[in-house]
Structure 1
Amino acid sequence: MTLATDQDGGARPLSAVAMALEGIREPVLEHWAMLVRRHVRGARFLLTPILINTLPSFYANLMQALTPGYPRDDATSHSSAAIAHAGERARMTDYGAEQLIHEYQLFQEAIRDVSAAHKLVISSADWLLIERSINAAIREAVRAFTAIHEELRHKVAAALSHDMRTPLAVIANGAQLIELAEDLAQARRLGTKIAANAIRLENMVGEVLDALTAHNGARLPLRLSRFDMRELIVEVQREFADRYPAALEVAAPSVTGWWCRETLRRALENLVANAIKYGDGGPIRIALAETRGNIVLTVHNTGNPLDEDQRCRIFDYLRREQQVQAQGWGIGLPFVKQAAESHGGSVAVDSAPATGTTFLIDVPVDCRPYVDADSRAAPPLCAAERQSVSD
């Protein structure tokens, strides 16, 4: 990391107190890291580079602020170090604002402890500037942290709202087919499908409420269970069978593992819907393979391939190719990426004129070791329980 003090070229020497504090920078950071791991919830197992983050830069800015002649009123002047620290905490940890504030308070405590241990003499005016700098950093960091979490919550809520269209379409289509049903057995079958998708829709509404009130929107909450991935693929195939006249082929062996069924179902539905929307009307193939402890779930369609630029940006949030006529919000594929990464895996796309377009989800067969306990969601509340909470 290039520190702010490194950019000055030594033209302005630090003040005596700044030089003294610069001499104990490493002990201060080490003591701070110990205090944070001990007292801040969620910090104990953070890797050191993530834990330390921009604190060395903030410390260097503080030394400049303590030196007359430097153009810094406090350690946050002309610097976005506190904002960057908040951004990384929002995206890389399970922190709330309280934990972020506590970190900065412990930073001031670490400076006091180490300064006292080294018998440094720091004037009340210098302490006042240190306190002012830390308070300013807290204000900037909390503003940024809150804004980032708000954005992340809205992204998750938008993705869920987008995916509600699938069970809604099944319900609407089923209702229309019931009107044309020729016998009671067919009507009952369609009624069962409508009821199942109504339950899915109810659960999605609950997830939207969870997303809008969650502290950590960077990772999807996963409800892990053991099931056969082939069964899930066949369920999705049946959902689209009534609406897609061309062949929806499945080539999937039975593979049982630990995943979040609803999350991967929504991811697969998004890929199939995209294949229908952007393909050329030919067969769509869903395939599953197991290799070295991972599964690779693929959805393939024929039609116009993606160019190199499209392949690089297609998983960006709210990114939709403008040259195609199909309507979309640019939310489905980013959700697929987030779903795969939340399981400890990844997503990729392969597209060429000769082979068509294939999206690949690669996740562990047993994702439990790769999913933090804090990101595992509790079972969803039923409608009556959610109503009780809202009341």
Structure 2
Amino acid sequence: MDSSDADNHPLPTSALATAFLALREAVLAQWSARVMAGIPSAQRLGAPALAAAMPLLYDHIAHALQAGAPGAFAAAREQATLSDYGPDELIHELQIFRDVLFAAAGARGLALSKRDAELIGRSIEDAERDAIHGYDAVGRQAKETFIAALSHDLRNPLHVASASAQLIQLKTSDPGITNLAKRISAKLAETDAMIQSLLDAAVSEARQKLTLQLAQVDIMALIEEVCGDLPMVGQRVRVEGDAVKGWWCRGSLKRVLENLVSNARKYGDSAQAITVTVSQADGSMLLAVHNEGRPIPAADLRRMCRGFQRIEDVRVKGWELGLPYVQAVAESHGGSLAVDSAEGRGTTFTVKVPVDARPHVGS
């Protein structure tokens, strides 16, 4: 279609938008058919990646034609999350849409002015940029989630090995073995510090909901498993409260427990027992880990409660490490994380999650 001819016989704005909307179903059907025939990833998935976004884009273009000006479009982003798709295939879907749209307008005899064609082209370009931005964001989130999970999985055996090395020191009188155990502990501590920094950076950067695998979980059985896997070097762990079963992600809750109990062991009073308490109220399960000893300084506590951000210069080193992940797990279940710390009552971290997290996951 020659744009100069269209400029000689332009349709009024309202008439053009009405005629454009009348082509909607035919254009979308032809677009879907061409995508399914020409893009192998769409064939494997059984639908175009932008199937849900394209009707919104079409209506967006109609509104732009009605108003005579482009507007912001951000609906393609949510649909650009399919791992089987590459960015070039997302662009290909939008290019097919552009070709089908202009061909249908020409076949119907719609007189598009140069400005009308530019509005349509600009809207499709905006959708292309948005789709790629969403694709990149999903890639970053997947990478950060992987780093966070791997970091926690690496930390847990390190904690077991470190506690075991400390037990060896307590149970031997051989100076050579004692020194070797101390060297092992020191190297494990160095490795743990590096992994914790990686974990903290990854999770605090992501700040998004985690992908959870829900199943029925017996929280008391999980607590027993975690405490059994973490030698406490003479420090007791007292478990109290209700036997609660719920729909949660077992793996992520296990990491939460390991993190909180390990922190309580490292930064609490080793002469006092760590207390893990489970309670249930108003459809939620409350999991609290408490330790006696020096509290978190008030200024640092306020900063932690503003989002558990990393604290560089604190007297109690390490409390913030891993807490962004704990908070992310709680919030991804539809819950929250709270901390209470004061002189005379010690420190308590409380994770609150719905007993049935299924309605909150994926929303």
TM range (shorter): 0.5 to 0.7
SS of residue paired to 1:313:
coil
Maintained 8 Å contact 1:320/1:328: no
**Structure 1 residue 300, shift from structure 2 partner:** 2.5
- Picking from 217, 223, 231, the partner of 1:233 is 223
What is the correspondence of 1:99-118 to structure 2 with a 5 Å cutoff? none
Q: Report the counterpart of residue 250 of structure 1 in structure 2.
A: 239
| 2:357 aligned with 1:363 | no
Maintained 8 Å contact 1:345/1:361: no
What is the correspondence of 1:32-47 to structure 2 with a 5 Å cutoff? none
- Picking from 112, 115, 134, the partner of 1:145 is 134
Deviations 1:186-216 (CA, angstroms, capped at 9, x unpaired): xxxxxxxxxxxxxxxxxxxxxxxxxxxxxx9
Go from structure 1 to structure 2 and tell me whether the alpha carbon gap of 1:287 and 1:25 turns closer, same or farther (over 3 Å shift): farther
Provide the C-alpha distance between the structure 1 equivalents of 2:215 and 2:224, rounded to a whole number of angstroms.
Answer: 18
SS of residue paired to 2:348:
strand
Maintained 8 Å contact 2:264/2:290: yes
SS of residue paired to 1:286:
strand
Maintained 8 Å contact 2:159/2:262: no
Maintained 8 Å contact 1:225/1:259: yes
Provide the C-alpha distance between the structure 1 equivalents of 2:350 and 2:26, rounded to a whole number of angstroms.
Answer: 45
Aligned CA RMSD, in angstroms, stands at 4.9
| 2:304 aligned with 1:310 | yes
Maintained 8 Å contact 1:31/1:110: no
Provide the C-alpha distance between the structure 2 equivalents of 1:156 and 1:272, rounded to a whole number of angstroms.
Answer: 22
The structure with more radius of gyration: 2
Go from structure 1 to structure 2 and tell me whether the alpha carbon gap of 1:220 and 1:352 turns closer, same or farther (over 3 Å shift): closer
Provide the C-alpha distance between the structure 2 equivalents of 1:313 and 1:360, rounded to a whole number of angstroms.
Answer: 15
Maintained 8 Å contact 1:108/1:134: no
**Structure 1 residue 88, shift from structure 2 partner:** 5.6
Q: Report the counterpart of residue 36 of structure 2 in structure 1.
A: none
**Structure 1 residue 171, shift from structure 2 partner:** 3.9
**Structure 1 residue 369, shift from structure 2 partner:** 4.7
Letter in 2 for 1:237: C
SS of residue paired to 2:247:
strand
Go from structure 1 to structure 2 and tell me whether the alpha carbon gap of 1:57 and 1:16 turns closer, same or farther (over 3 Å shift): same
SS of residue paired to 2:285:
strand
- Picking from 118, 122, 126, the partner of 1:133 is 122
| 2:259 aligned with 1:265 | no
Maintained 8 Å contact 2:279/2:285: yes
Provide the C-alpha distance between the structure 1 equivalents of 2:147 and 2:27, rounded to a whole number of angstroms.
Answer: 38
Letter in 1 for 2:285: I
Deviations 1:247-302 (CA, angstroms, capped at 9, x unpaired): 43221332233322211100111222333455465543211112343311122234
Deviations 1:5-25 (CA, angstroms, capped at 9, x unpaired): xxxxxxxxxx97545566799
Provide the C-alpha distance between the structure 2 equivalents of 1:227 and 1:133, rounded to a whole number of angstroms.
Answer: 51
Q: Give the TM-score normalised by structure 2.
A: 0.60
Amino-acid identity (%): 29
Aligned residues: 298
Unpaired stretches in structure 1, ≥5 consecutive residues: 1-14, 68-74, 183-215, 376-391
Maintained 8 Å contact 1:21/1:115: no
| 2:224 aligned with 1:224 | no
SS of residue paired to 1:297:
strand
Deviations 1:74-96 (CA, angstroms, capped at 9, x unpaired): x4xxx8x44x5466667xx7686
| 2:143 aligned with 1:154 | yes
Q: Report the counterpart of residue 263 of structure 2 in structure 1.
A: 274
Maintained 8 Å contact 2:94/2:128: no
- Picking from 329, 336, 356, the partner of 1:339 is 329
Provide the C-alpha distance between the structure 2 equivalents of 1:43 and 1:16, rounded to a whole number of angstroms.
Answer: 30
Deviations 1:333-377 (CA, angstroms, capped at 9, x unpaired): 2222332233x32122132536544322222333345445xx9xx
Provide the C-alpha distance between the structure 2 equivalents of 1:284 and 1:353, rounded to a whole number of angstroms.
Answer: 16
Provide the C-alpha distance between the structure 2 equivalents of 1:340 and 1:142, rounded to a whole number of angstroms.
Answer: 29
Letter in 2 for 1:257: G
Q: Report the counterpart of residue 3 of structure 1 in structure 2.
A: none
SS of residue paired to 1:254:
coil
Letter in 1 for 2:216: R
Letter in 1 for 2:227: Q
**Structure 1 residue 152, shift from structure 2 partner:** 1.0
Deviations 1:147-169 (CA, angstroms, capped at 9, x unpaired): 31232123212212321111233
Unpaired stretches in structure 2, ≥5 consecutive residues: 1-9, 33-45, 173-205
| 2:279 aligned with 1:289 | yes
Q: Give the TM-score normalised by structure 1.
A: 0.56
Letter in 1 for 2:304: Q
**Structure 1 residue 222, shift from structure 2 partner:** 3.2
